Amino acid sequence: MDDDTMGRIRNFGCGAVAGCPEGMAHLAACTAGADPKILAHQFEDRLMTQFAISPGCKGAAFARDDGPNGKQPSAAEEALMRRPHWHLGIDFRAGSATQSWSLQYLGDEHVFQGESATEAKMASEICAIVFGQRGAPAR
């Protein structure tokens, strides 16, 4: 933050400066001692739980790819990823009130995007797209 922004925060409070409450929440989460990678992984764990218990996600199978430096996918996850599937990307921001996501069926040009305040809401919104409940093509 520049000096002008810091001065406005001191004089008028964080709520009077655009983006300050979100920025301060992010800063607090990142400086609280928890590793942001761990926070992201915990978010993913909670989201996977919501996918598992959400009635709107019944019948969906999920594979988690932790990337080249992460845990290797199981044989079942690898088999799922070899078949045509949806790809979900999450732009996780520690401390944010909402999390942004994008969803694309492999090979399609259209990308669905959203922002959700809770893992339950995110699971519900994503499964509604996957299963075609909002006019999206079910795959």
| Tokens representing residue 23 in the block | 């920025």
Residue 4 CA, distance from chain mean position: 33
Contact 26, 95 (CB under 8 A): yes
- What's this model's pTM, rounded to 2 decimal places? 0.70
* CA 90 – CA 67 distance, rounded (Å): 13
Per residue in 14-57, pLDDT (tens digit) is 766 677 656 655 555 555 556 778 888 899 999 999 999 999 99
* Alpha helix (H) residue ranges in 3-118: 3-12, 20-31, 36-53, 75-82
Exposed e or buried b per residue across 98-108, where buried means at least 16 C-beta atoms within 10 angstroms of its C-beta: ebebebebeee
pLDDT the model gives residue 51: 95
Averaged pLDDT, 57-85 = 85
